[in-house]
Amino acid sequence: MYRFVLTRQWVCLTLIGLVLIPAMIRLGFWQFHRHEHRVAQNELIAANLSAKPVPMAEITAPGHEVPRADFWRAVTATGTYDPAHEVVVRMRTSNDDKVGFQVLTPLVLADGHVVLVNRGWVPGGDDPRAYPPVRAAPSGEVTVTGRLKADETSGGSGIKDRKGLPDRQVMLINSEQQQESLGKPVLGGYLELTAPVPSDGSPEPVAEPDHDSIGPHMAYAIQWWLFTLGVPAGWVVLVRREKRDREEAAAKEAAAAADLEPTTA
């Protein structure tokens, strides 16, 4: 009765289903792992943001690559701003998605080491190649607090580092690049300023990273696994429908054949 499943059409349909099942299971686990990664990242951000600030010089050094466990770690630094070597980072967005610059100002510590401080976002002027209007950094010794961030690279950020940029403009926040231009040892990574905040809000501080949303990945994982269950269920439904249609067609043929048989006197 089910010999039709051995026909070419049904064999091809069955093989497609057998391929789809493991593929959709893997896609489900891929989304599930993305969900786990997002949850772990949210927990890391929340823990590091709420931790007691520590001196940045205690957890990083020149040439040091900031590990993921220290991303967004609350840090402090005390020193004197060096406005002469301040640069702006091109193509950065504000908290309401306007395109402009971020202001990167070196902070020279008492021992001569330098901390790169991202003081926040400023709008660009009419000429994107001109240095934008930037509020001067505080003079004298200051203590700043912020979030520790890793050096930006083209491979990690997707931002292409460009040559021939206008004077005092860069594409990436990278301690090693700035060390070359400063001629002083620069601590690895950089400090994303959270305090003190300028009274007029300029530069605009970078917003705290989102660590509440978990995204739709878990829902996508469940959807893929439901689709996986739907393949064999759908195959069974199609087989039963095909069986029923064939039985109805056979019954009609038998009835038609009976009507054509000659009657005996």
Per-residue pLDDT tens over the stretch 193-215: 999 988 777 899 998 887 778 88
- Residue 31 covered by a domain: no
Highest mean pLDDT among 34-48, 119-133, 164-178, 234-248: 164-178
pLDDT at 240 over 60: yes
Short-list 70, 68, 169, CA closest to 122? 169
Indicate if the alpha-carbon torsion angle 172, 178, 202, 70 is positive or negative.
positive
Q: Do the domain assignments include residue 223?
A: no
User: Quick one: average pLDDT of 15-33?
Assistant: 94
What is the pTM (predicted TM-score) of this model? Answer: 0.75
Whether pLDDT at 69 is above 80: yes
Q: Span 127-134, mean pLDDT?
A: 86
Q: Which residue bears the tokens 């469940």?
A: 222
Q: Which whole number is the average pLDDT over 42-67?
A: 92
What would the mean pLDDT of 152-162 be, rounded to a whole number? 83
Q: Pick from 198, 175, 188, 156: which is nearest to 75 by CA?
A: 188
The mean per-residue pLDDT over the stretch 14-37 comes to 93
Q: Tell me how many domains the chain contains.
A: 1
Domain-embedded: residue 129:
yes
Residue 224 maps to a domain: no
pLDDT value, residue 42: 87
149 within domain boundaries: yes
In angstroms, the CA 233 to CA 236 distance is 5
What is the reported pLDDT for 263? 59
CA dihedral 235, 238, 243, 247 (to 10 degrees): 180
- Residue 172 within a domain: yes
**164 inside domain:** yes
Residues 6+ positions from 100 with CB-CB distance below 8 Å: 92, 93, 94, 121, 122, 123, 124, 132
- Residue 192 bridge partners (DSSP): 118, 147
The percentage of the chain sitting over the pLDDT mark of 90, rounded to a whole number, equals 59
| pLDDT for position 127 | 81
What is the domain range of residue 102?
52-195
Instruction: Confirm if 39 and 201 have CB atoms less than 8 A apart.
Output: no
203 falls within a domain: no
- Give the pLDDT confidence score for residue 44 in this predicted structure: 85
- Work out the mean pLDDT of the chain and round it to a whole number: 90
- What pLDDT shows up at residue 264? 55
- What pLDDT sits at residue 141? 97
